[in-house]
Amino acid sequence: MAGPDVAWYVATAAVLFGIGALGVLIRRNTLVVLLSLELMLNAGNLALIALSRHWHNGAGQIFALAVMAVAASEVCVGLGLVVALNRRNLSLDVDTLSELKG
Amino acid sequence: MTAGSWLCLLAPLGGTILILLCGTRIPRVAAAWIAATSVFVAFGGAIWAFLGVRSTTGHVGELTTAWTWLQSGNFHAGLQLLVDPLSTVMMLIVSGVGGLIVLYSIGYMDGDDEERRYFAYIAFFVFSMLLLVEGGNLLMLLAGWGLVGLSSYLLIGFWHDRPSAVRAAKKAFVMNAFGDATMALAFFILIAHTSSLSFATDFNVHLSSTATNLIALGLLGGAAAKSAQIPLQTWLPDAMEGPTPVSALIHAATMVTAGVYLIARTHPIFEQARTVELIAAGTGALTLLVAGLVALVQTDIKRVIAYSTMSQIGYMFLGAGVGAYSAGMFHLVTHAFFKALLFMTAGLAIHALAGEQDIRKMRGLGRVMPFTKWCFLAGALALVGVPPFSGFFSKDSIVASAAALGTWYGWIFWVCGIAGALLTGLYTFRLWFLVFGAGSAAGKAGDARPGTGSPTAIPGGEPSPFVREHYHRHGRFEGPLTMLVPVGVLAVLATVGGWLQWAPKWHPFTNWLAPAAQTLAAAEPTSTQEYYTSAATVIAGLAGIGLAWAIYSERKLAIPAAPFWRRLLEHKFYFDELYDALFYRPGVSIANGLRREFEEPVVLQTSADIGEVTMETGSLVRRIQTGLLRTYVLFLAGGAAAVVLAFLIAK
């Protein structure tokens, strides 16, 4: 097959995953956290597709489609939360949303 | 015959369960009649069983086993009932006299708030007592023994808002528990040697004399506790805190006689430990004197009769102890009649005076309650043993058996018996003259005689001011019919009940009991001994009556001052004080010490500490719950990384 080695794809996916994970852990804005989550999901998708092409197995691509569906629904829920927070004029800072503190 | 015994046993239990299940849905008097009916059905069963035993040849009786209850190695114990001459006598007395007393309680307890509980308890008591006497092996006897102790506790403390009643109930139970412990120890020795508690094995085995003596001592301890003999007698007078029918049933006719039944039933063991048997006789002789003396100074009508019970059971122990089992049992039967009669007539008086029990206030009651007066007189004459009343026939056989022994202690017992008859006459007729007496001619003139030294200074048969104020009739009669009928029946029985046997000439009772409890040859009195003993006891009894008449009725004699003796008798020979110092105070101080040193610092503190440690750990763990999303995601990510690492390393 033409193009770069599968290792490049997997490495890119890993880097993207790392950036997304860091974003979830470090950023305080809820929307950015959701964005980083999406980034992690897409990194996973990339890895799935690349390896599926490498091993000539269609299962990876089918699973990637499923992951996309899950991501979409999760985004709905997440953005719904953000909109609800905004409606109640609550701050979107995840550090202030700590009412479940023991 | 066995069906009769099962019916007899289970009918009162059925009555109890029915009353318990119905609870407050039935009216109180319905519960009362359920109890009375169940005991009368039991009486029917007892008659059936009696007739059944009578129709068998040799009157040997039958042992039925329902099922094996306890099985451990070689040791079997079954739910067994024994129907033999001895147990049928007890069954008839318990259910017959018991039925009359339950009928009496219907009138006596009428209007009490907790009447249903009373009748449930009393039916349960009758069941327990029947279990005791019908038990076919020593384990069933012990089960009945414990249950009658429980029923006694429940019934003495029936009026539980009275602290004196609660204390009396605890005292009775604890003293009986001591007796239960000695009996249990005796049974352990028996099991250790014979692996069996059945009558057949245990009565035919011959163990070493140490073992036999220990067993007999343990049995004697239990009998003495249950029958309120010295040294375990202090609970009986206090037990008078219970309602009068309870005193009549439990502490006169049935439960306290269980000790005598035990000795008669286990007589083969006692005969092998003859010394212990004679100790039992000695205990009886001592108790009959001590109780008779203490009864002379009591002012509560029920306590006089209670001490009288203690004294008469002393006679029964004397009879059973020397080996005259049928004489002891015959006295048990007649005693049930006249003692229950005495308690019930006292109850009529108490009921009519709305609860007053002090005889000093009851003077002149005979004028307004003639039926009660004459029934009490019948009971009193039976108690003293005046012919032809029932006590005469039974008591004299016992004293004559003591003479028949011929030994030095036999003569001592004989003298005790005669002296006891004198005391009996004295204290019984002291009670009679003070409460029901008609007063002397001189007294009727109404002058108070100073310096007589007697408790009531104003003589005469006139009702005292107290009686005049508090006495209330029950319609036309002195009490409700349910109270008067049993008293009347028992008065007749107390009069004619003794005609069942006159030892020198005619003894169907002894013949009936012979298969179960044969009188020892050493204790069989000759006709001559019977005659002169009867003469002596009757003369002593009449002398006692005469003394009482002279002191309390005619005021011819004064009671000697003798302050030391009076104090000694009023303090009941200081037994209560002795036990208080020996057992109660040390026990209380040990309990308090343990509470202070061990329970509070160690036990309570431990559970408090466990709670505190848990809470502190909890607050430490609580720190994980920061409520911040970021912390949780960090843990999530860290955990996932750790799992992946673990997999990689494992591979």
C-alpha A41/C-alpha A38 separation (Å) is 5
Kindly determine whether residue B623 and residue A102, on different chains, have CB atoms separated by under 8 Å.
Answer: yes
Decide if pLDDT at A51 tops 90: yes
DSSP letter for each residue of B198-234: BHHHHHH----HHHHHHHHHHHHHHHHHHTT-TTS-T
Burial A29-42 (b: 16+ CB within 10 A, else e): ebeebbbbbbbbbb
* Alpha helices per DSSP H over B514-554: 527-548
Token pair of B197 as six digits: 């508690």
Residues from chain B contacting residue A97 (CB–CB below 8 Å)? 627, 629
Kindly determine whether residue B637 and residue A21, on different chains, have CB atoms separated by under 8 Å.
Answer: yes
Kindly determine whether residue A25 and residue B637, on different chains, have CB atoms separated by under 8 Å.
Answer: yes
C-alpha B246/C-alpha B102 separation (Å) is 9
Residues from chain A contacting residue B622 (CB–CB below 8 Å)? 102
Q: Find the length of chain B.
A: 651
C-alpha B199/C-alpha B598 separation (Å) is 46
CB B311 within 8 Å of CB B283: no
pLDDT at position B574? 87
Closest Cβ opposite residue B629 in set A21, A97, A102? A97
pLDDT at position B443? 44
Token pair of A68 as six digits: 């996309």
Kindly determine whether residue B625 and residue A102, on different chains, have CB atoms separated by under 8 Å.
Answer: yes
pLDDT at position B11? 94
Pairs of CB atoms within 8 A across A/B: 31
CA of B607 vs chain A CAs: smallest distance (Å): 26
Residues from chain A contacting residue B639 (CB–CB below 8 Å)? none
pLDDT at position B106? 93
Residues from chain A contacting residue B626 (CB–CB below 8 Å)? 98, 101-102
| Tokens 């006789």 belong to residue | B281
Kindly determine whether residue B629 and residue A102, on different chains, have CB atoms separated by under 8 Å.
Answer: no
Please give the average per-residue pLDDT across A46-58, as a whole number. Answer: 94
CATH fold for the domain made of A6-87: Helix Hairpins (1.10.287)
CB B364 within 8 Å of CB B460: yes
Closest Cβ opposite residue A99 in set B622, B627, B634? B627
Kindly determine whether residue B637 and residue A100, on different chains, have CB atoms separated by under 8 Å.
Answer: no
User: Could you tell me which residues of chain A have a Cβ less than 8 Å from any Cβ in chain B?
Assistant: 21, 24-25, 33, 94-95, 97-102
Taking chain B (651 residues) in consecutive chunks of 10 residues, what is each chunk's mean pLDDT? 86 94 89 93 93 78 75 79 89 93 92 90 95 90 93 93 92 92 93 83 81 92 91 90 91 85 91 90 93 91 93 93 90 93 92 83 82 91 90 89 87 93 93 78 43 45 72 76 90 88 79 82 81 90 90 77 83 87 91 89 88 93 85 90 93 84
pTM here is: 0.80
User: Which residue on chain B is closest to A37 by alpha carbon?
Assistant: B633
Residues from chain A contacting residue B637 (CB–CB below 8 Å)? 21, 24-25
User: Could you tell me which residues of chain B have a Cβ less than 8 Å from any Cβ in chain A?
Assistant: 622-630, 633-634, 637
Kindly determine whether residue B627 and residue A24, on different chains, have CB atoms separated by under 8 Å.
Answer: no
pLDDT at position B457? 41
C-alpha B277/C-alpha B317 separation (Å) is 9
Kindly determine whether residue B627 and residue A100, on different chains, have CB atoms separated by under 8 Å.
Answer: yes
pLDDT at position B586? 92
CB B378 within 8 Å of CB B351: no
Token pair of B249 as six digits: 């049933």
Q: Which long-range contacts (CB under 8 A, 24 or more apart) does B560-568 make?
A: B561/B453, B566/B297
Kindly determine whether residue B626 and residue A98, on different chains, have CB atoms separated by under 8 Å.
Answer: yes
Token pair of A23 as six digits: 């974003």
Closest Cβ opposite residue B634 in set A25, A94, A101? A25
Kindly determine whether residue B637 and residue A101, on different chains, have CB atoms separated by under 8 Å.
Answer: no
Q: Name the packing angle between helices A30-54 and A6-26 (round to 10°).
A: 160
Residues from chain B contacting residue A99 (CB–CB below 8 Å)? 627
Token pair of B554 as six digits: 């005619």
pLDDT at position B58? 67
CA of B634 vs chain A CAs: smallest distance (Å): 7
Q: Which long-range contacts (CB under 8 A, 24 or more apart) does B167-170 make?
A: B167/B238, B168/B235, B168/B238, B168/B239, B168/B240, B168/B241, B168/B242, B169/B239, B169/B241, B169/B242
Kindly determine whether residue A102 and residue B622, on different chains, have CB atoms separated by under 8 Å.
Answer: yes
User: Which residue on chain B is closest to A27 by alpha carbon?
Assistant: B630
pLDDT at position B48? 92
Kindly determine whether residue A94 and residue B622, on different chains, have CB atoms separated by under 8 Å.
Answer: no
CA of A18 vs chain B CAs: smallest distance (Å): 11
